[in-house]
Amino acid sequence: MTKFIFYFKSIFWGVLFGLTILFFLPNSKLPFNWEVANEMYQFLKSEHHRHLDDRNQILTIESLSLAPAVDDASPSVVSINVFRPRRLRSDSRLAPNQRIVDFTVGIGSGVIISEEGYIVTNNHVIENAKQISINLPDGRKRFVELVGRDKETDLAVLKTDLKGLKPAKLADSSKIKPGELVMAIGSPFGATQSVSLGIVSAITYGLPFNRIQTDAAINSGNSGGALINTKGEVVGINQMILSSLGGGQTGVNYAIPINFVKRIASEIISDGFVRRNWLGINVGELSAEIYQRYFPDVESGKGVGISSVDKDSPAEKAGLMQNDLLISFDGQTVENLKLFYELFSSTPIGKNVELEVIRSGETLKLNVQLIEKPFGLD
């Protein structure tokens, strides 16, 4: 029995020793040889490091910094001082026919859009100005020229002869979506340039342009400043806030998309004013109840309702009437209010277009020629 155990142990350890040698032989045919084991080790090692890298790349609130974007955009944003005549007053030290002019000083912001010195801001910032001056972030100050303004779009263009300006990087605002991080840069209440952070809350649609809604704080003095993305690109020009009765912040602020701003600014720079279409109707979306009651054969939400028609307008001359449902514009189906605004604003002045409307259950096709909107007409 003792000999059997001895022989068994000898055979067991011999087989184990032989397998061990075969396992570590470089050219071993065993499924788990040294080369395979080494490759597996290197693979596991690389995977371990990759997971560490991925973990290090996870964005945390502690590691989030938007300073590079602000540093890139802030040199292109200026503060604006507007001097407006308030009243004439006499003084005992003056001659009888002499008067002193009192001025009020308004505040706002602007964005440099070219090396030639063109600056875009809001029309309401510079309206009724006698003189306008800008303050650059680098400390330089200068009176500027008003190139032109457009009341309907609330945009204006200024011009300075200062050199060494840094034009803003302009984004494609058509790609911006709700939920994206944005920052408002300007000089609220005339203070030093400051930055507020928020998100794009919504895109609101309307004439003469769509608006970017954001909860990034905008206050008096921010108007005309930049709304930028995390790359430091300008996506919009800050315009206004939806204020509470007490005048405080509500978190509902609006900016004009920069794609639209570029088009308007280009026209102001080239012509001094903006030329635009005029159809002469006011439109809006209708409720499901209205569709069911007056337009039962039309899918709810399709088309836009005509709420009024301007006197002596192209629309009136073409035969459009209040309460018509406009379902087609120049051969394209009007799916919603947003699409109507896009179709109308992109149509050249003077073009003849066919409009399809539903009136009292009947579908009518009317031809209208869009003309340039008369100057001074709101």
Residues with a catalytic annotation lie at 124, 154, 223
Helices (H), 275-373: 288-294, 314-318, 337-345
User: How far apart are alpha carbons 256 and 264 in whole angstroms?
Assistant: 11
Residue 69, classed as helix, strand or coil, is helix
Residue type, 342: E
Backbone torsions φ then ψ of 132, nearest 5 degrees:
-135, 135
Element (H, E) at 49: helix 34-57
| DSSP letter, residue 167 | P
| DSSP letter, residue 86 | E
Element (H, E) at 9: helix 2-24
User: How far apart are alpha carbons 353 and 365 in whole angstroms?
Assistant: 10
Residue type, 239: Q
Q: Which two tokens stand for residue 255?
A: 């900016």
How many CB atoms neighbour CB 310 within 10 A? 15
User: How far apart are alpha carbons 129 and 105 in whole angstroms?
Assistant: 9
Shortest CA distance to 334 belongs to which of 308, 302, 292? 302
Element (H, E) at 263: helix 258-271
Residue 186, classed as helix, strand or coil, is strand
Residue type, 325: L
- Cβ proximity of 171 and 258 under 8 Å: yes
